[in-house]
Amino acid sequence: MASSIEPILAELERSNGLQGLQTAIVALRDAFAVDHMVYHWVSAAGEQYGCGTYSDAWVQRYVSQEYLRIDPVVLGCFQRFHPVDWKRLDWSSKAARGLLQDALAHGVGNQGYSIPIRGPNGQFALFTVNHSCDDAAWARFAEARRQDLILVAHYFNQKALELEPGRLPAPTQALSPREVETLTLIAMGYGRAQVAELLAISEHTLRAYIESARFKLGALNTTHAVVRALTRGLIVVEGGERIDGAPVIGAVTPTTLTARSES
C-alpha cells in the first residue's frame, strides 16, 4: 500500500490549487479501495471547507440542515486526539439517528474512520474514510491501514494550510483558569446553575467569567464561545470517562472543582 500511495502524495505536494487536493483524494480513495474519502476543515466560526468524494447532494444537504451542530463525528473528534471509529461514538440521540439515516439514504457507507487534526492557532480538521461492509471486515481494514491513513491525513492538512493560509483563526487571548473551568463544564452539558454550584461561585460571578471568555474568543454567544474554545484546543472534554460517577475534565472533576476557592 505504501508504494502505491507515494506517487499520489508526491503529486499532491506539487499541486498549487484546490483541484490538486480533489484529484489526490479521488486517487487515494481508489488506492485504498473504499467508497469515500473526505478532508473536512471546520473553522472556529463554523465555516466548512474541504474536498472529498461524497455526492454533491449529500454535501448540500449536510450544510443546509446544519448537521455540523449535531454530527457525532465532528463533536466526538473535537474531544479526542486519536483516530476514531464511528461505531465508538454516541449516536443515541434522536437528532444523531436522523442524521445517520439521512446519510445512508444519500450513499454514505455504514462504516467510518475519522482522524482529528490540530494545526497552528487552534486549527481543527478531520480526515475521514467511509465504506460499506460488515464490522469484521472494517476492523481488519482499520488495523491494517491505520498508519497510512494518519500519514495521508497530515499530508492533506499541510497542503491545505499552504493553499488557504487566510483561513487560519487568529491567535486567541489566553483564558484564565476559571474561564477554562466554566467553559469546560458548559461544554459537558451542565446548566449555569449547576456550573455555579460546582465552582462554588454565584451565578452573577459565573456570568462575568462567561462574558470575559466570550470577549476574548470573539464569540457571538456562549455556545459560539464553547465551540471556539474546543476548536482552538483551549478546553478539552474527554468523552466517556468518569471518576466516582463524575465526568472527567482533563485531570479535573466537578468533585475537585468544588474544593477550590474562588479565583
pLDDT digits (tens, 9 = 90+) for 204-247: 999 999 999 988 887 778 888 888 888 777 887 754 333 333 44
Q: Which residues contact 226 (CB under 8 A, 6 or more apart)?
A: 183, 186, 187, 235
Give the percent of the chain with pLDDT over 70: 83
Looking at every residue in the chain, the average pLDDT score rounds to 83
Label residue 30 by pLDDT band (50, 70, 90): very high
Phi-psi bin for 219: left (phi > 0), alpha (psi -120 to 50), beta?
Answer: beta
Q: Which residues contact 176 (CB under 8 A, 6 or more apart)?
A: 209, 212, 263
Q: Which domains does the chain have, with CATH numbers?
A: 2-167 (3.30.450.80), 177-258 (1.10.10.10)
**Buried b / exposed e along 101-123 (16+ C-beta atoms within 10 A):** eebeeeebbbbbbbbbbebeebb
pLDDT of 249 > 60? The answer is: no
Instruction: Supply the pLDDT for residue 227.
Output: 82
Q: What is the mean pLDDT of residues 137-153?
A: 94
Which has the higher per-residue pLDDT, 137 or 118? Answer: 137
Alpha carbon separation from 62 to 95, 163, 241 (Å, rounded): 13, 24, 30
The answer to whether residues 131 and 137 touch, using CB atoms and an 8 Å cutoff, is no
Instruction: Supply the pLDDT for residue 174.
Output: 85
Full-model pTM: 0.65
